[in-house]
Amino acid sequence: MEIEADLIEKERALLSFEVRRSPAKLRSLLSSDFLEIGASGDFFGLDSVLDCLPQESAWSAISQDFEHRRLSSDLIQLFYRVAISRQNGLGTSYSRRTSIWRKEGSDWKMVYNQGTAISPFEVQS
């Protein structure tokens, strides 16, 4: 599998409840120095993510339009869009996201993620 395709698979896994509810699975995908700026503008480190994600309520995410660029031999940046449908009546939110993945030993781990709220877009089915 091409490394970029593998990273897209990992990115999508991070949007799944199977992974988000498991601190062990999150640690396998996120670097110890992970940082995130959410679509709300809030700033999070790994400890905050490990505390919050397993407690999230139900929603579903569709990610699409992936692009990537290699920043160096051990850094790859992904760009994509996400539509998140909340099941508590809050509707759907849309964001453009970027993440940076770094090769750590034999594994690729996310070191940075940022989401920016954007206007609604047509979701591919």
pLDDT tens column, 41-81: 899 999 999 998 888 877 889 999 999 999 999 999 999 99
Number of structural domains (the chain) is 1
Residue 122 lies in a domain: no
pLDDT tens column, 42-53: 999 999 999 988
pLDDT tens column, 92-116: 999 999 999 999 999 999 999 999 9
Residue 123 lies in a domain: no
What's the pLDDT band for 1 if we cut at 50, 70, 90? low
2, two tokens:
């091409």
Mean pLDDT over 13-19 rounds to 93
Residue 98 lies in a domain: yes
The 3-class SS string of 68-110 reads EEEEECCEEEEEEEEEEEECCCCCEEEEEEEEEEEEECCEEEE
Instruction: Find the domain containing 14 and state its range.
Output: 3-117
Q: How far is the CA of 88 from the CAs of 51, 52, 54, 97, 121, in angstroms? A: 21, 18, 17, 23, 21
